Amino acid sequence: MLSPALVAEVRRLLAEGRLSQRRIAAVTGVSRTTVSNIARGRRPDYAPRHQGDELDLACGPLGRCPGCGGRVFLPCRLCHVRAVAARGKKQSGAE
């Protein structure tokens, strides 16, 4: 899925009219078909995905997770998922 900022950049380059769709695709790193769909209005605008306040993708620095030891963007998503699964098991009484 393309970020809204990237779609806006493609639209801006198309509106300028100085670059071909092929060149815009090369500059932005999207496919020529996607550029064409944006130009023709065939690509729907997707609302940005909102993660809960509790977890944001790649929100922190790259480092070692104190829980699992993996090199990740902190906070570690894997440890977060494991904690949520463990809470779910405790609430349901299954262990």
45 in a domain, yes or no?
no
Give me the pLDDT at residue 53, please: 44
Whether 55 maps to a domain, the answer reads yes
Concatenate the DSSP letters of all residues of 60-71 into one string.
Answer: S-EEE-TTT--E
Domain that holds residue 82: 50-95
Per-residue pLDDT of 21-30, as tens digits, reads: 999 999 999 9
Q: Is residue 31 part of a domain?
A: yes
Average pLDDT, the chain: 82
Residue 75: asked if its preceding bond is cis (omega within 30°), the reply is: yes
Q: pLDDT tens digits for 23-57?
A: 999 999 999 999 999 999 998 777 666 555 444 45
DSSP letter assigned to residue 32: H
pTM of the full structure: 0.49
